[in-house]
Amino acid sequence: MNKYLIYLNTKRCIGCHACEVHCKTNKRLPVGPILCEISHEPLKAVRGVPKTEYRFRSCYHCEDPYCVPVCPTGAMQKREDGIVFVDQERCIGCMACVGACPWAIPKHNPATNKVVKCDYCLDRVDAGLKPACVTRCTTHALKFVSLVEI
Amino acid sequence: MCTVRCPIRVETEGNEVTWIEGNSHLLGGALCAKGAAGTALLKDEERPLRPLIRKGGRGAGRWEEVSWYAALDYVADKLKKIIASHGPESIMLSCRGGPFVDLVKAFIHGLGSPNFTNHDSTCGRNVHHASLSLYGLGRKDFIYDIKNCKHLVLFGRNILASLRIAEANQVLDMLDAGGKLTYVDVRQTMTGIKANRFFQVRPGTDYALALGMIHEIIKEKGYDREFVDRHVADFDRLEEFVVPYSAEWAAKECGLRSERIKEFVAEVCAARPKVVFHPGWMLSRYRDSFYASRALHILNVLMGNIEVEGGQILPKGPGDCGIKGLRSFDAQIPKPTAKRADGVGWKYTHFDKGPGLFHLFYETMVTEDPYPVKGLICVRHDPFTCFPDPAAQKEALDKCDLLVSVDTHYSEFGWYADVILPESTYLERDSIIATQKGVKPRFIVRRKAVETEHDTKGLCEIIKQLADRMGIGHYFPYNTMEELWAWQLEPTGHRIEDFDAKGFVPLTDTPIMYDRDKLEGKFKTPSGKIEIISDTLSKAGLDSLKPYQSPEEPPKGQFRLVFGRSPIHAHGHTINNPLLHELMPENTLWINKRQAARLGVEEGDWMDVIGCGCTGVIKAHVTEFIHPEVVYMVHGFGRQVPLQTRAYHAGVGDQKLMRGLLQEMDPAGGGLCLCECFVSVRRSSKNPKRRVEL
Ligand code: SF4
Ligand code: SF4
Ligand code: SF4
Ligand code: SF4
């Protein structure tokens, strides 16, 4: 069972894209890979006010991930708590996981020639902290939800 | 990273920054993209890393790398020569403002020159002067208690994109608590999409809309009668003045429906006093922006929102907490006797003498009246990005013998200067301590997180070493930051260690409010009241209540050029940051859908934007939600420093298209009229039709 979820309160999100940078700086990623993405639909007038809502997408941490079985080295793994992550030691950068993921979520890291993806900041989570994007979101719009608690 | 200076906490490993977050006591960890991208700034080598002295002609980009010793000697030598032939007053210093200006102010005053200035004539001067003329208090003498208000009204103040993190969170908290937001602009923005009501007005008609609101509020007797009777002078003059400006009139002028204005008025009158009309942040836009801002201040007065929760609150300082204030460098220095070169205080008696008005110095450089200005030091300020028409600025600057840029990055001005003194980034430098006034005032300080790995220095050290060379080192009695802080803190009884716990020193635990029934004496006008008719303005031959004049329509085939900000970049100085550049590498030209169709322009097409005598090429963003009379772009792009390989010529700089606007000043407010610029646009011939190369 997946234990965690990142939830975006669209009422608070202001599309500032800070979460994308927070994620990158936490993982010390160079220009290139972006592991979470803020996007929105074009504006539409709702009762006289042009409106839109933002979406946040990182990795879906699928119940039955496509990326894990195709990995030839066992680098891509799913933990007990549902987190799908890449063991950097084992990854050979073959990019099989990128092809297998329907949304091409894993990204190539030009600095290491390996793959990186959202891992819910598992080192932080294991230390009892919240993921980088959630902790530092400009407006506290992102929430890290523990599903078992609901 | 940006001039808002949101408080941050930084974690390091060795000399590496590993984590930057918003101060947990004040921001709960929240931080914007600019603040987070500081790690990339540290690693970025496309910034000045050691002192540079110009070798070729100005702007030619040929530099000699020199030691600090040589660079400071060079600057001091030139300054001394200028002082010897023209007097100290022919040196001016401009600083990008913010809480830590005391030191540089002291430096220029210590030299004996009154000519301290900043960027504000392209920013908040109109708002500030409008505030002074009404309350005798400046724009920073009010805090908007947005979080607790019931209705926030924003005229073009794009508060959720021109980010100050604490303020943005206040707006969202207010909305979460059921507060209302009304947004007025010529285009839809990030702030507008959160609004309950959006007035898309014809450009340049903010003043008309504000007048229509005042008329309607007075007509419906919706204002705070008691507050007005008690604190406002010449209210009858206002009543009389607004008679012609009915809601119907305003609606017609702005392109709105009058019922919507009336609905709005009924709503705010029911919600007062917890209503805030934001009087504008950057309001150097139209010929009547001063009066538009003054009308917004008046709307606040009608709401009776002063010193109430959810309204405008007077900020409190150390004195209100029974604590002595910080020792100031500037305050110990005898006031220079020369009159200001920008004419503020003697030629222009209605302007605040504090920072004066930068653009007027350009006029003085050319005319040498009242005296020549020969040296300019810009501290983290880029006049070529901030003021219109860099070509006209260069013409004036060519009369100067010394141009110095103290900055963390290559500014466009720096690239034209004679000397660049590279300042360490915000993660590598300490600052002086400053007071942050507020409902809960505090002392704040910046402390470096890592040591610089290059030959850059913090400002405190640069100023001290320059001061020593100029023979005014005694005004700066410190050799280390510890000594500096101890000197500043001495009267307060605090020590620098007191900052360790939270990153700042709170001066009170509980919010301090004045008794609202005893506001007498708080307004610093000659009469002690809120003055509808300002004597200072009258004496300068200016109206306090100016009859409305309809803005010019763009000449046929042209558009009014308006500009704004994005949450990703801080004006010009972050464009080359690798991580921010990755998010937003260039700006686009927003154009109304119908106009675009007429021009045969589609989303993403290249467009030529043509001002008088200058052209830019920029991609189109086609949208319904911008007024057909305007085109819009984010400010700060189109940079021309070749060493900034990412930002170089990416996008277009609006200020470069504003030919002839350098001295277009609002005579009452001192702000420049930056939106009085018309440009032609067309689908660019640079869009390829087909491929003809191999
Ligand atoms: S940081 Fe927060 S507010 Fe900004 S885009 Fe990301 S989720 Fe939205
Ligand atoms: S990478 Fe793709 S397939 Fe793998 S868990 Fe994430 S969303 Fe699912
Ligand atoms: S790139 Fe790395 S994680 Fe992805 S499939 Fe190959 S070895 Fe596995
Ligand atoms: S949870 Fe961590 S890895 Fe995933 S998007 Fe947020 S910051 Fe990036």
Q: What is the pLDDT of residues B91-149, one digit of tens each?
A: 999 998 788 899 999 999 999 999 999 998 888 999 999 999 999 999 999 999 999 99
Yes or no, beta carbons of A50 and B195 under 8 Å apart: no
Q: Are B122 and B671 in contact (CB under 8 A)?
A: yes
- Lookup: tokens for B354: 């504090």
* DSSP three-state, residue B260: helix
CA atoms within 13 A on the CB side of A45: 11
Q: Which amino acid is at B329?
A: F
Q: Do A22 and B37 touch (CB under 8 A)?
A: no
Give the Cα separation of B11 and B449 in Å (integer). 8
- A31–chain B nearest CA distance, Å: 6
Q: Is any atom of ligand 2 closer than 6 Å to the C-beta of A59? A: yes
Over residues B523-536, the mean pLDDT reads 95
Which residues on B lie below 8 Å from A23 (Cβ)?
none
In 3-state terms, what secondary structure has residue B620?
A: strand
Of A44-53, B249-258, B459-468, B475-484, the one with minimum mean pLDDT is A44-53
CA–CA separation, B200 and B265 (whole Å) = 17
pLDDT under 70 in chain A at which residues?
148-150
Structure tokens at B168: 């943005």
Residues 50-79 of A with CB under 8 A from B: 50-52
Q: Which residue has the higher pLDDT, B13 or B121?
A: B13
Do B163 and B32 meet the contact criterion of CB atoms below 8 Å apart?
yes
Nearest to B637 by CA among B573, B582, B590: B573
The CATH number of whichever domain residue A63 belongs to comes to 3.30.70.20
Number of domains making up chain A: 1
Amino acid at position B301, single letter: V
- Plot region of B343 (φ>0 → left; ψ -120 to 50 → alpha; else → beta): left
* From A39, A40, A54, mutation site for ligand 1 pocket: most ligand atoms within 8 A of C-beta: A54
Q: Is B170 on the interface with A (CB under 8 A)?
A: no
User: What residue in A sits closest to B191 (Cα-Cα)?
Assistant: A14
Rounded to an integer, what distance in angstroms lies between the CA atom of residue B242 and that of residue B197? Answer: 24
**Percent of chain A at pLDDT exceeding 90:** 92
Structural domains in chain B, CATH included, are 8-122+324-506 (3.40.50.740), 143-313 (3.40.228.10), 558-683 (2.40.40.20)
- Return d(Cα B280, Cα B207) in angstroms, integer: 12
**Among A24-28, B58-62, B685-689, where is mean pLDDT lowest?**
B685-689
Task: Could you list the beta-strand ranges (E) of B365-416.
Answer: 375-379, 402-407
A107 forms beta bridges with A116
The candidate with the shortest Cα–Cα distance to B367, out of B407, B396, B327, is B396
Q: Is the pLDDT of residue B35 over 90?
A: yes
Rounded distance between C-alpha atoms, residue A144 and residue B15, angstroms: 31
What is the Rg, in whole angstroms, of the alpha carbon atoms belonging to chain B?
25
Q: How far is the CA of A72 from the centre of ligand 3 (A)?
A: 7
Q: How confident is the model at residue B464 (pLDDT cuts 50, 70, 90)?
A: very high
Residue B422 preceded by cis peptide, ω within 30: no
Task: Answer for the pair B415, B641: CB distance below 8 angstroms, yes or no.
Answer: yes
What ipTM was estimated for this complex?
0.95
pLDDT of residue B5: 87
Give, as one character, the DSSP assignment of residue A148: G
CA gap B350, B346 in Å, rounded: 9
B69–A contact, CB cutoff 8 A = no
Complete DSSP assignment for B512-526 = ----GGG-TT-S-ST
Token pair 């991609």 is at which residue?
B619
For ligand 1, say whether the CB of A134 is within 6 Å of any of its atoms. no
Tell me the Ramachandran region of residue B359: left when phi exceeds 0, alpha when psi lies from -120 to 50, beta otherwise. Answer: alpha
Q: Report the residue among A66, A71, A112 best suited for mutation to probe ligand 3: largest number of ligand atoms under 8 A from its CB.
A: A71
Residue B193 CA to its chain's centroid (Å): 24
End-to-end CA distance of chain B: 45
* Residue B322 CB contacts under 8 Å (≥ 6 apart), including other chains: none
The residue type at B220: E
Phi–psi pair at B17, nearest 5 degrees:
-80, 125
Residues 6+ apart with CB under 8 A from B522: B137, B307, B314, B514
What are B69's two structure tokens? 């010793």
Cα–Cα–Cα angle for B552, B557, B563, rounded to 5 degrees: 65
Work out the pLDDT band at B2, boundaries 50, 70, 90: confident
H runs (alpha helix) in B242-329: 247-254, 258-271, 289-303
* pLDDT in the model for residue A58: 96
Top residue of A26, A36, A49 to mutate, by most chain B CBs within 10 Å, is A49
Compute the average pLDDT of residues B190-213.
96
Specify the pLDDT at position B98. Answer: 80
How much is the pLDDT for B250?
98
Contact B92, B363 (CB under 8 A): no
Q: Which domain holds residue A117?
A: 4-146
The CA distance from B210 to B182, in Å, is 13
pLDDT at B613: 82
Name the burial class of residue A12, with classes exposed (0-12), middle (13-18) and buried (19+) by CB atoms within 10 angstroms of its CB.
buried
Give dist(CA B345, CA B105) in Å, integer.
17
**Ligand 3 pocket, A38 CB below 6 A?**
no
Cα(A80) to ligand 3 centroid in Å equals 20
- Six token digits for residue B612: 């008088």
Report the pLDDT value the prediction gives residue A60, as an integer from 0 to 100. Answer: 96
Model pLDDT for residues B559-599, shown as the tens digit of each residue: 999 999 999 999 888 999 999 999 999 999 999 999 999 99
Characterize the bridge pairing of strands B197-200 and B180-185. Answer: parallel
Is the pLDDT reported for residue B504 higher than 80?
yes
**Angle at the Cα of B301 (from B295 to B304), degrees rounded to 5?**
155
What the block records as the tokens of B629 is 């009379």
Task: Write the burial class of residue B61 (CB in 10 Å: 0-12 exposed, 13-18 middle, 19+ buried).
Answer: middle
Give CA–CA dist B269/B280, Å, rounded: 21
In 3D space, the residue among B393, B401, B386, B457 whose CA is nearest the CA of residue B424 turns out to be B457
